Amino acid sequence: MKGADAEDRAARYLSSLGREVVARNYRIPGGEIDLITRDGDTLIFTEVRHRRQAHYGSAAESVTPRKLALMHRAALTYLTRELGRDDLPCRLEVLTIDGHVEGGQLQLIPLEG
């Protein structure tokens, strides 16, 4: 359950920043949002990526343009299906963990657009 462990650490970290975890593993056909948190009035959709070793690149390098497009689509679906509107303040981000899940380097990368 490596992915679940990384998501657990990410959720703890985001909570320590004062965010409320609203949902985990929100799925639609062809896409998923790992974590949805709220910071004040803003919803944040977070993709969690973990790489124990860098043989095939860092955790950040594993986020492809296709993954970002699917993430955007899943976030828009969440807004419209679950909240009934798509004009709420929100943003996308990637949280990466490089190394061991519990002790590895954690980085929060905001996404533009």
Query: Coil, strand, or helix at residue 38?
Result: strand
**pLDDT tens sequence across 59-112:** 888 888 999 999 999 999 999 999 999 899 999 999 999 998 999 999 999 987
The pLDDT assigned to 28 comes to 93
**pLDDT tens sequence across 44-54:** 999 999 988 77
The pLDDT assigned to 3 comes to 77
CATH number at residue 10: 3.40.1350.10
Q: Are 88 and 78 in contact (CB under 8 A)?
A: no
The pLDDT assigned to 27 comes to 94
> Which three-class secondary structure string do you get for 50-67?
EECCCCCCCCHHHCCHHH
Domain that holds residue 105: 2-110
The pLDDT assigned to 2 comes to 65
Tell me how many domains the chain contains. 1
Predicted TM-score of the model (pTM):
0.92
- Cα 13 to Cα 47, 65, 71, 73, 80: the distances in Å are 14, 25, 21, 25, 27
